[in-house]
Amino acid sequence: MLDLLVPFFICGVICAVVFDCFRFLIYIIKSRVATLIFDILAWSICGLVNFCFFTSYNNGIYRTASFIAEFISFLLYFYSIGILTKRLETYFSSKIHCFFAFLLKKLQKFKKIFKNYLHNVYSILYNKNESKRKLFLKIKFKRTAGKVEK
């Protein structure tokens, strides 16, 4: 019996690692929808891992001892190594957020410089003649019987 419980201890650790990886993605994205999607994916993968372990080690027979061994190993991982990885995940996710905020700020600055360059060099006007453009569109697209309405 003990030789059958060891693989399910490993299975519990695998499920905890999968859950930990998806938790890191949740920390990075920080959205309720993403949390829902990642939780569904994590538990689906864990269910698939459980199915594979039960079919390969127990010939498809579900035993309570196997579930208890898997649950205990998941809890042991989650409350020992999981606490350490949670601290690392929050640290690295905050660094990733700072990096993307910095990148976004640089892209907005580049957009402003590029827009000014186009305006100065090629005389492309942005939002300067908006009222004239609206009037032009009204004149151009409101045609009735070949006549232009003004």
What is the residue extent of each domain of the chain?
A: 2-79
The pLDDT tens digits for 17-55 are 999 999 999 998 888 999 999 999 999 999 999 888 888
Residue pair 7/67 in contact by the 8 Å Cβ criterion: no
| 149 phi/psi in degrees, rounded to 5 | -90, 145
What contacts 121, CB < 8 A, 6 or more positions away?
none
Distance CA 138, CA 88 (A): 59
The pLDDT tens digits for 103-140 are 999 998 988 888 777 766 666 555 555 555 454 444 54
